[in-house]
Structure 1
Amino acid sequence: MGTSPGAEPVQAVRWTDDGLRLLDQRLLPHEERYVVCRTAEETAAAIRDMVVRGAPAIGVAAAYGAVLAVRARQAQDPARWREGFAADLDRLAAARPTAVNLFWALARMRRVAAQADDAEAPARLEAEARAIHEEDVAANRRMGELGAAFIEPGSAVLTHCNTGALATGGHGTALGVIRTAWRQGRIREVFADETRPWLQGARLTAWELVREGIPVRLIADAAAAALLAAGRVRWVVVGADRIAANGDVANKIGTYGLAVLARHHGVRFMVVAPTSTIDPGIADGGAIPIETRAADEVLTAAGRRVAPQGAGAWNPVFDVTPAGLVDVLVTERGALERPDREGIARLLG
């Protein structure tokens, strides 16, 4: 399936009569293929196996997975569906431990299920899942406007991982800011980290930007320091998978290093995430659970081993950037400069 400059952003998550359709991000940029999930178990597997990724998109997908769960459980036993439904939601929650949007979305679905009678539960849950999806897109567009206002016309920016339409309900968080700033004439060029080991920057961010005709240059992760030292960019713009109550940010591994580099070189550092990504129950970044994945993701490339037999690997998926290194946190409720515990509390009302 071809793409062309100026094309509309893709939809990573689609709800259809056939079930939940997820664009298989493991195959991009070479192939656009959708995986159809018809059960909560299939949805959990798709989240776990990285068919869908990005904290907001995971939350949206899990909400639709809850709809599939209530339908299946009521079909099996209309009078005793709630026990199995609860187990299905637990299975969805276990799919990825760090992205707080997953738990936030499932908590909303649990509340609706608890308040609905048996007959109305499927329709009520579907309406809630659609609302979560629509709210995410609206929040992304709002964040795009708020974040773009900080970027000086003619800037180049650096981004890490993928935070676009592929990682959200649509438009994107950090990449949504970049999209909006590009359309406003504020950004002239985007640099994208390749983002090892899954290469989300190379495979996904570059693909989204090329698709829309936004100038992008890919860099090896290790080239970021040289790029910032050369004065090539004014902003580093990233997303988040969980934000602690004090403003510490968990995001894709490599983000912390970029924040340190940005502060050293006088480059500003922006985090863009909806308030659903803020976890007020986590006091600071040290308490955020950090997912680790299989060593083979580091020891291999494109399915072929690149490290010698006998070598091991450490493969944390995320790292934590202290709030003191964040210049601006952009949410749908407003932008917070130099985020701290008091500022986060004000954002959350």
Structure 2
Amino acid sequence: MKTLAWEHHALQLLDQTRLPGEERYLCCTRWQEVRDAIRILAVRGAPAIGVAAAYAMVLAARDIAADEPDKTQFEIRLAEAGRGLDGARPTAVNLHWAVQQQMNLARRALSSHTVAETVELLEQGACTIERDDAEMDRRIGRYGAGELGKSRQPLTILTHCNAGALATAGIGTALGVIRTLHSQGLVRQVYADETRPLLQGARLTVTELMDDHIPVTLITDNMAAWVMKTKGIDAVVVGADRIAANGDTANKIGTYGVAVLARAHNVPFYVAAPASTFDLTIPDGAAIPIEERNHDEVRSLGGIVATRPDVDVFNPAFDVTPHDYITGIITEKGVIHHPDDAILATFFRKEG
């Protein structure tokens, strides 16, 4: 299965809401179709959303260029499309990052190129973002395997949600680390939280790991504490949707609870994410917008009603893990140990 593919000026998106039962692709020829796919989680995972958004900007640019606007109108209308995309998932910063990358490219191109040439450059830019994402996954995997695999003993790892190939354009972030460890014979067992309310762990992570013949055991979210106490968990590895300047990290709801449990059981807790997931414009996790989703996602499961249809529901899609619960953030540029605002500022100053 391939998360997405750019073919014949259209974006093919694997509809992840239908997995594992059905492998179906959505053919998106307009940017609004990509926006809607992002909203309903047909494509999800911060890096994959970013790549999809980059291609959506190409679709928007082609549509706008067909009206033969002047450069000023082209830029105005492209920015409007970018804002429409940006609002599809407010927590995942890679979406905003990709839209801004494409807008910045468009503005530079328009200074010396025609509108038609700018559209072609945007397509090249999206392809570059996709290639770069796949390479970042490989590098995250190598750094993560080097960090976790120091003992050269097979590990038992717990993960939450899905930060795998289905969430990126490559081998995944958290699952990229696990895949790299597995290739070195260093994975004894992976425990995958089911991840309410849409079961990304059960539907997606389990599917990926089983397809790659990586030993995986599925658990419900409320079993993580007992598994840490009784199953010898060596490390937790999760992904991220946005990381603040002090290292506070937003990820799928339930991640914060896993981090608290890891602290209680002296289990190292790692976040795997590319540098594009950091939002250094916000000081801490309190400033991260948290998306709240449809309440029926909790009232029912798989179409089966689980409670009273009129009960009040609180359904945040993400929570924020404070930086002092994080052992390290694994990036494509290295591992940031015990992140805080000073350490992150130094890290990005060196890398910048």
Identity of aligned residues (%): 50
Separation in structure 2 between the aligned mates of residue 310 and residue 125 of structure 1, nearest angstrom: 47
Separation in structure 1 between the aligned mates of residue 341 and residue 272 of structure 2, nearest angstrom: 17
- Which AA in structure 2 matches 1:207? T
Q: Is the 8 A contact 1:238 1:272 kept in 2?
A: yes
**3-state SS of paired residue (1:156):** strand
Provide TM-score, normalisation by structure 1.
0.96
The correspondence of residues 253-332 of structure 1 with structure 2, limited to 5 A, is 253-332=253-332
Which residue, 59, 69, 86 being the options, matches 1:68? 59
Segments ≥4 residues shifted beyond 4 Å: none
**3-state SS of paired residue (1:157):** strand
**3-state SS of paired residue (1:119):** helix
Deviation (angstroms), 1:309: 3.0
User: Which stretch has the larger CA shift, 289-298 or 339-348?
Assistant: 339-348
Give a deviation string over 1:97-136, Cα, whole Å, max 9, x none: 0000001111110011111132311111011101111111
Deviation (angstroms), 1:18: 4.9
Separation in structure 1 between the aligned mates of residue 341 and residue 231 of structure 2, nearest angstrom: 32
Give a deviation string over 1:224-266, Cα, whole Å, max 9, x none: 0100111421101000000000000000000000011001101
The correspondence of residues 154-193 of structure 1 with structure 2, limited to 5 A, is 154-193=154-193
The correspondence of residues 204-243 of structure 1 with structure 2, limited to 5 A, is 204-243=204-243
Residues paired across the two proteins, number:
340
**3-state SS of paired residue (1:149):** helix
- Which AA in structure 2 matches 1:62? A
Separation in structure 2 between the aligned mates of residue 309 and residue 104 of structure 1, nearest angstrom: 38
Which residue, 44, 53, 76 being the options, matches 1:53? 44
Structure 2 unaligned blocks of 5 or more: none
Separation in structure 1 between the aligned mates of residue 137 and residue 105 of structure 2, nearest angstrom: 24
Deviation (angstroms), 1:82: 2.6
Q: Is the 8 A contact 2:144 2:177 kept in 1?
A: yes
Separation in structure 2 between the aligned mates of residue 143 and residue 234 of structure 1, nearest angstrom: 19
Which residue, 67, 74, 77 being the options, matches 2:68? 77
Separation in structure 2 between the aligned mates of residue 185 and residue 314 of structure 1, nearest angstrom: 42
Q: Is the 8 A contact 1:151 1:186 kept in 2?
A: no
Matched, 1:114 2:107: yes
Matched, 1:25 2:16: yes
User: Which stretch has the larger CA shift, 292-301 or 76-85?
Assistant: 76-85
Query: Who is 1:41 aligned against?
Result: 32
Separation in structure 2 between the aligned mates of residue 211 and residue 285 of structure 1, nearest angstrom: 35
Query: Who is 2:138 aligned against?
Result: 141
**3-state SS of paired residue (1:196):** coil
Q: Is the 8 A contact 1:154 1:188 kept in 2?
A: yes
Query: Who is 1:124 aligned against?
Result: 121
**3-state SS of paired residue (1:240):** coil
User: Which stretch has the larger CA shift, 202-211 or 147-156?
Assistant: 147-156
Root mean square deviation of aligned Cα: 1.0
Structure 1 unaligned blocks of 5 or more: 1-9
Separation in structure 2 between the aligned mates of residue 336 and residue 30 of structure 1, nearest angstrom: 38
Q: Is the 8 A contact 1:164 1:174 kept in 2?
A: yes
Separation in structure 2 between the aligned mates of residue 168 and residue 345 of structure 1, nearest angstrom: 26
Deviation (angstroms), 1:169: 1.1
**3-state SS of paired residue (1:339):** coil
Q: Is the 8 A contact 1:248 1:285 kept in 2?
A: yes
Separation in structure 1 between the aligned mates of residue 87 and residue 75 of structure 2, nearest angstrom: 19
Separation in structure 1 between the aligned mates of residue 309 and residue 96 of structure 2, nearest angstrom: 38
